[in-house]
Chains A and B, each alone.
Chain A
Amino acid sequence: MTQAEQERRFLDKIDREIKIEPNDWMPDEYRQTLIRQISQHAHSEIVGMLPEGNWITRAPNLRRKAVLLAKVQDEAGHGLYLYSATETLGADREQLMDDMHSGKAKYSSIFNYPALTWADIGTIGWLVDGAAIMNQVALCRTSYGPYARAMVKICKEESFHQRQGYESLMKLCNGTPQQKAMAQDAMNRFWWPALMMFGPSDAESTHSDQSIKWKIKRFTNDELRQSFVDATVSQAEILGLTIPDPNLKWNEERGHYDFSEINWEEFWQVVKGNGPCNKERIAARLKAKQEGLWVREAANAFAKKRAMKKSA
């Protein structure tokens, strides 16, 4: 089969909503785009463990401690499912992680913001996981089979993440004035970074067009961002929290909420490594890797010894 013929077949499958599977022929650029996007997603899960993880030892009661442990653990699991999906494309988890450590590969910028108070934990669950879910639900129908399957599993497991965050904020908002203020403060700090999670605006996004055509992405960044704002406004009202945007207003004509322009300067600065915690996050991951090397080496050495004993 000629390259052109294979390409035609591939596009035909995409058109007919037939999933692409690991051994199928695919354009190299499709493969590279997937590896980049899925690994970026995986890195985000893993780095995302850090801001919340730093509150595990300080969770205010035992139930919240268990919930937080289970949630952060899920993120490790999700990272693992996603790395597995990249490995079906011929990528190597270690190499991908090294790319993240060196700054070559990115992860979601939201995790470069610090988790300063207990209210941040609820807010991360509600807004950050809420934004992530918006993205992930759309990805359950992505064209690459292993990615779509991983997303289905992840979405199923994540449904508790957003709810526990919202429930936790509900407690604060129905609690003392001090607790309510703590929740509002967290909202003020996380609202804009949460909107930035959907990435650059469509006009600026370099990868969007092709990804939409290949049905890797099913909606554009701006479409998803709009859906998120539309869904979140009433949730904030029920909590009694104010969204920190004076221009947030229902637009009858568009059938959507209008909102202010995002501070793109901040967005790009954080992407480039100048967020409040970029260096700390990478340093923590690198330390985990380095301190784990002897452990992995030991297990491999043991396996080898046992295999030799068996065959001897």
Chain B
Amino acid sequence: MQDQALFEYVLRLADDSLILGQRLGEWCGHGPILEEDIALTNISLDLIGQAISLYDLASELEGAGKNHDQLAYLRFENEYKNVLLVEQPNGDFAMTILRQFFFDAFRLPLYEALMQSPVAQLAAIAAKSVKETRYHLKHTSEWVIRMGDGTDESHERAQAAIDHLWRYTSELFFEDNIDEQLQERQLVPSLKGIQANWMETVKAVLSEATLTIPTNNWKFEGGRQGRHSEHMGYILADLQYMQRAYPNMEW
């Protein structure tokens, strides 16, 4: 099966999951308390699992005979199509949770919509992932509210994380001719509707958390086209280390 546009689309989803899962994996063993250490790893595991399914589908759509690991591990930096948001460093717990919250609030309505996709495999992945993502969003929302309406320090940290990450959020809704083409073929939803849904969630949670939405809407974009931040090279140096240092071996 070859479907270049759909391949690119699925690759974007897969790269988002992989890179965010990779970032969360850095927390394992270093969480603020054991219970939350375990919770963050659960989210990471869900994302890695989603990435595997999505890369399997992508490789089928590409039709080049690659397996999910070859797609995940053996591309150059500008061939990764994840948004800039997911590659941002973990920072403190507030930064990690807010990054995850912004992402979850986007992924949940997207998966809900993709469950209706006539691409059966994509709909199946969405149906499985939607349950995981709903839980992630619940958990991160609880934490955003607790940090925002907790102590002065936690409020400041949460607000600082929002102020920093806000610039990366509009890229979640980036659309180009790949999206347009697939929307025309009625295979995927328009991200405009997803964005409205996202904004509603963000407003509701931040308001309960007594946190404010930044007014500067200047956009940072590039990830979807393979132009990343400086962090990406280091992520790949770790991720690809074994595959690059010991090529063509099985592990």
Q: A residues engaging B (CB < 8 A)?
A: 46, 49-50, 53, 56-66, 69-70, 72-73, 76-77, 79-80, 83, 118, 168, 171-172, 175-176, 178-179, 284, 287-288, 291-302, 305
Contact = CB atoms under 8 A, between A and B. Distances in A.
The 6 closest A-B pairs by CB, nearest first: A292-B32, A298-B150, A298-B154, A60-B242, A49-B29, A53-B29
A288 B242 contact: no
A64 B251 contact: yes
Interface residues of B, number: 49
A50 B149 CA distance: 33
Contacts of B18: 62
A288 B145 CA distance: 22
A72 B242 contact: no
Contacts of A58: 238-239, 241-242
24 contacts: A50-B29, A56-B28, A57-B22, A60-B242, A60-B243, A61-B251, A62-B18, A62-B48, A62-B51, A76-B34, A79-B34, A80-B34, A171-B250, A171-B251, A176-B249, A284-B30, A288-B32, A291-B32, A291-B93, A295-B147, A297-B151, A297-B153, A298-B147, A298-B154
Nearest to A52: B29
B45 interface: yes
Say whether chain B's binding surface is mostly helix, strand, loop, or mixed: helix
Interface string B211-251: 00000000000000000000000010011011100100111
Interface stretch (B36-44, B173-181, B198-206): B36-44
A76 to B, nearest CB: 5
Contacts of A284: 29-30
B148 to A, nearest CB: 9
B147 A70 contact: no
B212 to A, nearest CB: 18
A287 B29 contact: no
Contacts of A287: 30
Given A58-B241, A179-B246, A294-B157, A65 B151 contact: no
Nearest to A45: B34
A298 B153 contact: yes
B73 A76 contact: no
Residue in A56, A80, A300 whose Cβ sees the most chain B Cβ within 10 Å: A56
A118 B69 CA distance: 17
B177 to A, nearest CB: 30
A300 B32 CA distance: 14
Contacts of A80: 34-35, 38
